[in-house]
Amino acid sequence: MEFARIRIVSLKNMCSYLFEGSALKASSNYQKYEDNTKVGILLLEDGSFFLGRSFGYPRDTFGEVVFNTGMVGYPEALTDPSYYGQILVLTYPHIGNYGVPSYSLKDEFGLPRYFESVGIKVRGLVVHELCKHPHHWSSSRSLHQWLYEEGIPGIEGIDTRALVRKLREYGVMKGLIAFFDEGEEIPLENLFKKLKGMEDPNAENLVRYVSPSEPLVHAPEDPKFRIVVIDCGVKFNILRSLLRRKAEVVRVPFDTPADEILEYKPDGVLGSNGPGDPKKVEETIAAVREIVEEHIPFFGICLGNQILALAMGADTYKLKYGHRSQNQPCMEIHSGRCFITSQNHGYAVSIESLRGTDLELWFINVNDKTTEGIRHTRAPAFSVQFHPEASPGPVDTGFLFDKFVEMVRRNA
């Protein structure tokens, strides 16, 4: 590949550049807002690249480049374990306006109130413009400070519209973020070779990095029933949604066998969200298959939806660029009612593969007609691809937790 002939995707109002053979010379036209600001480059596996400026912790990183179109909710998104292994592009042009709250602000169950896990889970963050001076009553630090404290690199000044158009046209792809001092050569050819030699994060089981190593218990006052959560990277608001309905929640590692789960004598089991290819979590698929066969009520969310499908003999596939937003319309098949949902996933259940199984289509995406929910026709089991717990996003489908609790009580 002749890097000296690469078309610059968009550098207007961002960084000036000089070609020197197959290298660029880093030079920023912007006044620095921090002494350690560097020139950053986001290189994609198709050879295209974007130049910007560093924020957060200026270290090189690699991951699958994905985008989210939500206008708000970056503290929740950055701590969502489903983003593990990914570089997240936020399409809203101004990010960080309301700062970042403290982990010490807890809800009534002792969980951090404004986050979906403890610690940032993305490998890198890409934005158009970073707010340097946030203002909000709960803010304890800026987005830049938060990322720096947790060792996560960010790059701003990127034409995120052009970047997202590319990802929508060609699909998500591997990407590398690297940083350079002003005037330093950017060795494009070497960076591209490095990127091409890196393995797709989805080639391994990413769930093992976000699942707990041992069981954890959360209980409200006067619990009425027990739910075991197969924790593939569960969001805190899923736990809150169960706890507020008076469930004692036992979180178990993703690879916990069904017989060990049944030793807890659960009234129901929930399969959580999580990162990566669902076919990599073979232990979870096997456990869910046995749980459903035992007619234990089961509720799957996001990755849990794909796991239920695989456990029952259906198939999954990777979407071109996934669903990562807070405004995905999903229609319930039998009623025709449409709900606006929050979503974060890169894989889906094949509708055609449901034929010949005991599963039926329940919800469908109005935009692209992909599977958004399935139900078992003979056992008390259902799942959805979207996030009924929201956080961030609309709460239209929070009633599904009530439906799960009702199923648990009927089965008791």
**pLDDT given for residue 22 in this prediction:** 46
Kindly report, residue by residue over 206-218, the tens digit of the pLDDT.
Answer: 999 999 999 999 9
The mean pLDDT value for 378-402 works out to 97
Q: Give the pLDDT score at 6.
A: 36
User: At which residue do the structure tokens 């890198």 appear?
Assistant: 124
Interval 123-131 mean pLDDT: 98
What's the average model confidence in pLDDT over 271-295?
98
pLDDT higher at 127 or 183: 127
Is the full-model pTM beyond 0.85?
yes
pLDDT, position 37? 83
- pLDDT number for residue 412: 79
DSSP H or E segment with residue 261: helix 258-262
Mean pLDDT (the chain) is 92
d(CA 296, CA 103): 35
Q: Are strands 61-68 and 86-90 parallel, antiparallel or unpaired?
A: parallel
Cα separation, 272 vs 251, whole angstroms: 10
The answer to whether residue 9 scores a pLDDT higher than 50 is: no
CA terminus-to-terminus distance, the chain = 64
- What would the two tokens of residue 81 be? 């374990």
Q: What is the pLDDT of residue 17?
A: 39
Q: Is 282 helix (H, G, I), strand (E, B) or coil?
A: helix
Residue 198 has pLDDT above 70, yes or no: yes
pLDDT tier, 239 (very low <50, low <70, confident <90, very high otherwise): very high
Contact 130, 52 (CB under 8 A): no
What pLDDT sits at residue 32? 43
Report how many helices (DSSP H) and strands (DSSP E) the chain contains, helices first: 9, 22
Tell me the C-alpha distance between 34 and 20, whole Å. Answer: 28
Question: What's the mean pLDDT in 388-396?
Answer: 96
Report the relative pairing of strands 298-301 and 381-384 from DSSP bridges.
parallel
What band does 26 get if pLDDT is binned at 50, 70 and 90? Answer: low
Catalytic residues: 302, 387, 389
Tokens of 380: 């008390």
Residue 40 CA to residue 49 CA, distance in Å, equals 10
Instruction: Report which of 326, 48, 338, 58 is spatially closest to residue 184, judged by C-alpha positions.
Output: 58
**What's the pLDDT at 36?**
65
Binned at pLDDT 50, 70 and 90, residue 35 comes out as low
Express each pLDDT in 62-84 by its tens digit: 999 999 999 999 999 999 999 99
For residue range 302-348, what is the model confidence (pLDDT) as tens digits?
999 999 999 999 999 999 999 999 999 999 999 999 999 999 999 99
